[in-house]
Structure formats: C-alpha cells, structure tokens
Structure 1
Amino acid sequence: MKMIFRILLLISFISCVSGSLVVNVTQTHYQAEQNHSITLEWTFTPKPDVSITSVYIFCLLVTDLRVSVLFHLHEGVEVSESQDQQFSGRVQFDRDKLREGRIRLQVSRLRTDDSGLYDCIIRTSDGWNMDVCRLNVTAVDQHKAQTEPENRRRTGLSATLVPTAAAALWVETLLLSQSSKTNLGLDPPSVAATQTFPAVFPCCLVSVGLS
C-alpha cells in the first residue's frame, strides 16, 4: 500500500512539473559572508491576474543532513509556525512582488549553516513547479582565503533532480496529510514536526553530488 502511494505521488510530481506553471530562479548561485544579508528570488508564470489566495509556496533549505523550512505561504497567508527555528526572525517576504509573479525572500544575519540548496516549490491553480539555487555562506575569517572552483558555481540538472523530487514528494505528502486532518476537523500538523526526510534522502545527495 505504501509503495502504491509513493508511485502515485511520483506520477503526480512528474505531471505537475510538465504543466503550464513555470518557475525560474533569477540567480543559480549566491555567495555571501557571515552576518550579511541576501535576497533570494524566484519568478513564476502565468503572471497576469495572480490571485494571492490561490498561491502556495514552500521554500526549503536542503543539505546532506536535513531539510529546513525557510518560508511557507498557504493560500496567500504566511505560516510562521512552519518555519524552522534556524530562520526565525531572519526572513522578510516582499508581498507586493507576489502579484507580479515574483517571490523575494531577504535572509538577514546569515550563518554558515545557511549554506545549501534552496528549493522553492510553488503551487497555483495552474499546477506545481519548482526551481533551485545554491547559497554559500563563508565565515568572516575565511572569506578572503576561500576560492570556489568554477564548476561548483553551477547548479546542474543532475545535482537538483534528486533533491527537488524528494522535496516535492515530502511537501505533497505533508499537504495531503494537512488536507485530511482539516477535513476531519482536526488541527493540521506542524511542519516542523515532520521535517525529517526518509533515511535514503541524504544518501541520494551524497551519491549524486553537485556539478
């Protein structure tokens, strides 16, 4: 039964990313220094007449060890309870840009453990889609000494396919769980309580690597 459920989720994921909704990251790689700020930005289409109440957004930090919720928007409303404690009080969302089909998240007081892949998963009435960027935060005393190879500055398809697919399945599972709870008149579960991926996920990241 669990295997059938996973297959259905995978089929749903594949069909969603091939739909009419297009999501693009404006910059594939960000480099920043500890304690500074950075603005991560994604765009999505179609842009005209975007209804904020029909927009669902999950922005996740994906590392080898865990997945953290950077930002969660549900029917146009920010869900602060979902945000990982790591980002508490450090993320500002530009709501006005959402109507233009732009998602802008300013992350302040950057920490070295903010480094990783940032996967923004968006759902509208046109379906699901996502895009990924990489953020590398260097410690103040290491910034001048560190030189990143050119081949590490590109987020390749092979690097993002596994984490984005896994993240999408995780989010969809969570939303299905929330939906069933809501239909039963129960409080939806906290995202923070379900942030642990299956054990196979970190292994996939290690085996695929980043190109």
Structure 2
Amino acid sequence: MISWILLLILLISCVCAGALEVNVSQPLYQAEESNNVTMEWKFPPEPDRSTNSLFIECHLFTDHRVSVLYHLHEGIEFPGSQDEQFSGRVQCDRDVLREGRLRLHVSRLRTEDSGLYECEVMTKQGWGADECRLTVTATVAQEPHTTTTVSPEPESQKEWLVLLIALAGIVIVIMVIVVVILVMRQTTRPEIIAVITAVTLVVTGVVTGAVIKLYNNQL
C-alpha cells in the first residue's frame, strides 16, 4: 500500500516533467526451472546526478495476481514491499543505474515465475514503463541410464585348440588299443580279445563324452 501511495505522489509530481522513454532489452525471456535469468530495461541516464531521485518499481502480472518484484525509492531499496514469492531471489545491479540500465537478476527460477514483467521508472525527467514476458519451463526428469552387461564370448581359437587336443588323445588311445589287439590276436585266446575290444569301446565312449561335455561348457 505504501509503495502505491508513493507511486501516486511521484506520478503527480512528474506530470509536468513529461514522459520518460523506458525500453526493455528484449521482449521475451526463456529459462528452465532452477536456473537464473537477467532482465534488463534501459532509460535516459543522468550521469551527473545520484540515484537519490530515482524511483523504480517492477511487477509480475499473471492471470491470478500482481506481485511486486523490486522496489527502489530515492535510491533506497524496500525489500519489505517485495512479494514473498521473490524473497531472497532478486538482485539489482546498482552500479549500472547511473548509466540508465536497470538489470534485475532472478535466481532459482520456478514455473510460477512465468508471466508479464513490467518496470516503472521515474526520474526528474519524467515517468515511463515497459514490459517483457518470462517463460519458465519445468525441468524434465531424465530416466536413469541402464547399462547392459554382455558376457564376453569364449575365444574361438581356444575352443578349437582344446577340441583338437582332445580328439588327438582319442585317436592315440584308439591306435594303441588297436595295436595291442592285433598283437594279442596271434598269442591270446578269442575271449581275451573280445574283452579287450569291449574295454576299448568303453574307454573310447568315455573320452568322447568328456570331449563333448568340455565343448558344450565352452559355448
């Protein structure tokens, strides 16, 4: 309420002085939630004068309400008139006010900060205002990246080497048994030869099964 009364008094006092040209640097600002943004307005500078005669008031207009963003009167900031929505999140670059530049830094943006921003500036030259729009988009949560672990394929060369060694062993065993059988046919009865032949078949089957099992384990 006090800021509106002060604004009314200054408006009355500046009627005779005329209009002041105030221009926003860009009409549209876009940013993501939780980021920062800097909005800038320009007005005729008064380098030979202090900021004690400067009045600035900035508002956010939405469909539901009007909020005070920043308030400066005769060079003194009034944080008490600032809306709670912007408490601790708005800073003005006081060093460039003499240059005719109003720069407002809004940090930790929220989606409800979206809307129309208007800044009114009053000096001894007059009164003026300009507006811009800020759009704050919500941050999209990224899905956690899942890494699929692929088991390394068995080395083909190693598989073939193992297989060849096993087959070579089988061939050697069979050849030895055959030689023994051929020798014993001349000096041994047929019953013994039959037993040796049966044992040879059993041993060959066991070795062959072991090789097959080893190969399957490697796959």
- Tell me the TM-score normalized by structure 2: 0.56
Instruction: Please say if residues 50 and 101 of structure 1, whose CA atoms lie closer than 8 Å, have aligned partners that are also in contact.
Output: no
After the TM superposition, which residues 162-181 of structure 1 pair with which residues of structure 2 at under 5 Å, given as runs?
none
SS in structure 2 at match of 1:61: strand
Aligned residues between the structures: 131
Amino acid at match of 2:106: V
* Equivalent AA in structure 1 for residue 23 of structure 2: N
Q: Equivalences for 1:29-178 in 2 at 5 Å?
A: 29-141=28-140
Aligned 8 A contact 1:23 1:129 in 2 = yes
Question: Secondary structure of 1:113's match?
Answer: helix
Distance apart, 1:114 and its partner CA:
0.3
Counterpart of 2:181 in structure 1 is none
Taking structure 1 as reference, are residues 50 and 42 closer, same or farther at Cα in structure 2, changes over 3 Å only? farther
**Please, what is the CA RMSD of the aligned residues?**
2.2
Higher helix share: 2
What 5-or-longer segments of structure 2 have no aligned partner? 1-7, 142-219
Q: Secondary structure at the match of 2:41?
A: strand
Counterpart of 1:62, as a letter, is F
Give the structure 1 partner of residue 20 of structure 2: 21
Structure 1: 5+ residue runs without aligned partners? 1-8, 143-211
Contact between 1:121 and 1:129, CA under 8 Å: does it hold in 2?
yes
User: What's the TM-score, normalizing by structure 1?
Assistant: 0.58
Matches within 5 A, 1:180-191: none
* Contact 1:70–1:87 (CA under 8 A) maintained in structure 2: yes
Q: Distance in 2 between matches of 1:48 and 1:93?
A: 18
- What is the distance in 1 between the residues matched to 2:85 and 2:120? 19
Asked if the contact 1:23/1:122 (under 8 Å) is kept, the reply is yes
Secondary structure of 1:96 counterpart: helix
* Code of the aligned partner of 2:73: H
- CA offsets, 1:106-152, max 9 Å, x none? 0000000000000000111111100000000000029xxxxxxxxxx
Rounded Cα–Cα distance in structure 2 between residues aligned with 1:71 and 1:20: 21
Q: Deviations over 1:5-45 (max 9, x none)?
A: xxxx8xx79x95x9352101001100000000000100101
Q: Which position in structure 2 is the counterpart of 1:173?
A: none
Instruction: Report which structure shows greater RCO (CA 8 Å, sep ≥6).
Output: 1
Q: In the TM superposition, what is the alpha-carbon distance from 1:65 to its structure 2 partner?
A: 1.1
Percent identical pairs in the alignment equals 60
2:71/2:81 contact within 8 Å kept: yes
Question: Contact 1:22 / 1:46 at 8 angstroms: preserved in 2?
Answer: no
